[in-house]
Chain A
Amino acid sequence: MQGNLNSNTENYLTKNSIGVPEYKPKDEFFKEKDFSDKKPSGYKREKVSVNDALEELEDESPLELNDFDDGLTDEEFKFSLERELEKQLSENDSSSEMPNGHFQDALKNALEKEKVENEPKEKETPEDNTDENENENENVNEVLGGATNDETEVVPVEGTLEGELVSADIESLSEQSPQSPEREEYLRLKQEFKQTQKKYLDAVAEDYTTRDHVSKLLGIGRHNMSDSTKEAHDRYLSANRAFYEYSRDSESFRVIAERAERMNRVNHHDAESFSIEPSLVGRHILNTAEKRLKLQTSRLMPERLSQTLGRVSGLIKNHPRIAITAGVVALGVGGAVAGAGAVGLYAGKVGLGFATRYGGSMIANKTLLQNKESKLKEITDQAIGVLGQMDEETLERYEEEILRASNTVQKTKTGIKIASRMAGIGVAGAAFSPEINDFLTDAPDNLPTGDGGAGLGLVPPEAPVNPTDVIPESPVVPEGQSTELPVQEKAPLSEVAKGWVESESMQTPSSVEMEILHDVKEGDTLSKVVFDEVEKRLTAGSASLPDRAMGNGGLMSFMLEKFPEFSNGTDISPTLSPEQWQRLGVSSGNPHMIFYDNDVVNVDAIIKIMEGQPVKEVLDSLPELENASQISESTSMFSGNENNLTLEEAEEFAPKYASDQIIDAPKSFEVSSEPEPVIPLEASPEPEAVPSVESPVSNEVIHDLPTSQESINESSEYGPYETNDVDNASVESAFEDFDNAGYFVGEYYQGMTHTFDGETGLLTLLSDTIKEGLYQRGDLAPPMRLVSGDNDFLGDIDGYLYQGLLELSGGVASSDYVFFPEGTVLNPEDWEVFGITSDNPMKPNAGDEFEVGKFLEFMLGGNNEVLLNNE
Chain B
Amino acid sequence: MIKVLGLTKRYGTKEAVKNISFSIAKGEIVGFLGPNGAGKTTTMNIITGYISATAGKALIAGFDVLDDPIYARQHIGYLPEHPPLYQDMTVNEYLRFVYNLKKVRHRKFEKHISEICELVGISHVRGRVIGNLSKGYKQRVGLAQSLIGDPDVLILDEPTVGLDPNQIIEIRNVIKNLGRERTIILSTHILPEVNAVCERVIVINDGVIVADDKPENLAKKIAKQNRFSARIVGESQAVVNIVSGVPGVAGVKFIKNAEENAGDYIITSDETRDIRQPLFYALAENNMPYLSFTSYGVSLEDVFAKLTQQDSEHSKEELSK
Answer yes or no: are A and B bound together in one complex: no
